[in-house]
Amino acid sequence: MNKTITRFECIDGFAEELDEIIYEGISNWFVSFRSLFTVYSAHFSYLLIFFCLISCGILSYRHSVENGKKYTQFWYGALLQGFLSEMGPTANKYWHAQAPVMCFGKKLPLHIIFLYPFTIYVCTLAVQRLQLNICTEPAAIGLLVMLMEIPFRMISVKFLHITYHDTEPLFFYKLCGVPWTEIFASLLFATSYVAIYHGAKFYYSRDISTIWDREDPDKKETLFVVLSGLLSPIAAFIQKLILFHFLHDFFNVNPISCLFFTVCLYMSFVLCFEPRRGEKHVTEDSTAKTYLFYQISLYFACLLFLALFGRPQNEVSIGSHEPTGDCTTLVCSKFPLGKPTKRKKYLCADEVAARKNFVYNFECLEEGPPCLSAVWYTICGSPICNRFQFFLNIFSLALLVCSIFSKILFSDVKKMEIVKRLIVKLHLPVDFTREERAGRHTSEPVAPQEEEEVTVGYVLVQLDPLSKKCIPKKIQ
């Protein structure tokens, strides 16, 4: 018997197949729990990401509490926006793995709820320091959120944290297994939420400086936060109709080109407007800035650890996945502006088992692929074909995002002074006198030499600084 099969047999629920998920009461539908040991044995990477995102979410919430109720309400609004986006009409086209805490019919993991307020909140506070125009801040925040979420989605797909519909036409174009439409969605949802939030606050107060001050919000401002969370999915859908479906459905433009066009449009929009000046931000405190950077570092450290040392072939995902069924059954996949496209209604398990280098397989199951009409079954991870390339993709995006955050948060820090202190502390034989002199000659403006007055005998003369000659001075 295969050693992998033997190792997984002791895991609770392994190789179990269900054609219907049964809930033990309505409370079990709202919240369900799973043993930490079971998740650790079957899906170690998922447990690591679970605690990582929960920690980042709690840290960002604590930061918002320390800076005033307006920041806390903004955090809650992002939480509401993320919940609605996960429970939207496209939620039946992907399936999350079973985390230690699941919500709403075992479909939504707890840590995914914390992902949205964490990314939107830290990106907002970072972009806030750039003092961009009020119209362009949402676009800049959306672009930064998109860059933060791409590595997370790459890890999630490869390590079976999430599985997408196998034959959905919108998921055909992928980046390391991640559909480009999902990357598109993260950009649009974050931009829409911040845009509505800023627009509502500015419409109410007519003063940009009151959006992020430390004063307690009134009831109308609280209502604006709730409306921002509720209306942001609708605004994101409208943007998607214009920027994606119009180009894709009418002109057959692939999602990659649509996303590239949108990113260029957003960046041009950010660069065209003049920034505002003279406003103080909560992130001016050095401790608060370091606190934010710690959250980013923890987030990317977990992703880089899995990209470098994770072994998805030693993990299994036990839970709800794409329903299996007859391979010949077709349904129409409708687009808002285009013609319906036929796709397979069910997952063809035999076809997946025959594929090579697919995201998942059924090799760890002794009885092979699941039977027909199964909605709850086990899938097995596949090895990373080119680990260096996979790690390089994650590392490149992590380096870019961390560089952006460090440049924004610590732009006023004198990095040379930090290097000098480290060298002095390590007792390294480095002489800074030459560099300091060179720095002074190049950076500091040369003060004009003043004329000196000297007395020669009883005659008052003036010393010319250029010719070094004495010029008699008239006595008035």
37 pLDDT band, cuts 50/70/90, is: very high
Residue 155: the pLDDT is: 97
Is pLDDT larger for residue 4 or for residue 247?
247
**pLDDT tens across 383-402, in order?**
999 999 999 999 999 999 99
Mean pLDDT of 102-107: 92
CB neighbour list of residue 28: distance below 8 Å, 6 or more residues apart: none
Mean pLDDT of 273-290: 62
Residue 456: the pLDDT is: 47
Residue 466: the pLDDT is: 58
pLDDT of 242 above 90: yes
Mean pLDDT of 70-84: 94
- Could you tell me what percent of the chain has a pLDDT over 90? 54
Residues 333-371 as b or e (16 or more Cβ within 10 Å = b) = beeeeeeeeebbbbbbbeebeeeeeebbbbebbeeebbe
Q: Which of 10-14, 286-290, 408-412 has the highest mean pLDDT?
A: 10-14
pLDDT of 428 above 80: no
Residue with tokens 């939207």: 88
The C-alpha angle 253, 195, 173, rounded to 5 degrees, equals 25
Mean pLDDT, rounded, of the chain: 85
Task: Indicate the range of 51-65, 143-157, 206-220, 405-419 predicted with least confidence.
Answer: 405-419
Is pLDDT larger for residue 99 or for residue 428?
99
Residue 123: the pLDDT is: 95
Q: Is 143 left (phi over 0), alpha (psi -120 to 50) or beta?
A: alpha
Mean pLDDT of 403-416: 77
Residue 283: the pLDDT is: 46
pLDDT of 442 above 70: no
pLDDT of 447 above 70: no
The model scores a pTM over 0.75? yes
Do residues 142 and 187 lie in contact, with contact meaning Cβ atoms separated by under 8 Å?
Answer: yes
Residue 129: the pLDDT is: 87
Residue 218: the pLDDT is: 83
Residue 436: the pLDDT is: 52
Task: Indicate the range of 35-49, 201-215, 254-268 predicted with least confidence.
Answer: 201-215
Mean pLDDT of 231-238: 94
Residue 474: the pLDDT is: 53
Q: What is the 3-state secondary structure (H, E, C) of 291-307?
A: HHHHHHHHHHHHHHHHH
469 pLDDT band, cuts 50/70/90, is: low
pLDDT of 147 above 80: yes
**pLDDT tens across 330-353, in order?**
888 777 777 778 888 899 998 888
Residue 440: the pLDDT is: 52
d(CA 347, CA 314): 23
pLDDT of 362 above 50: yes
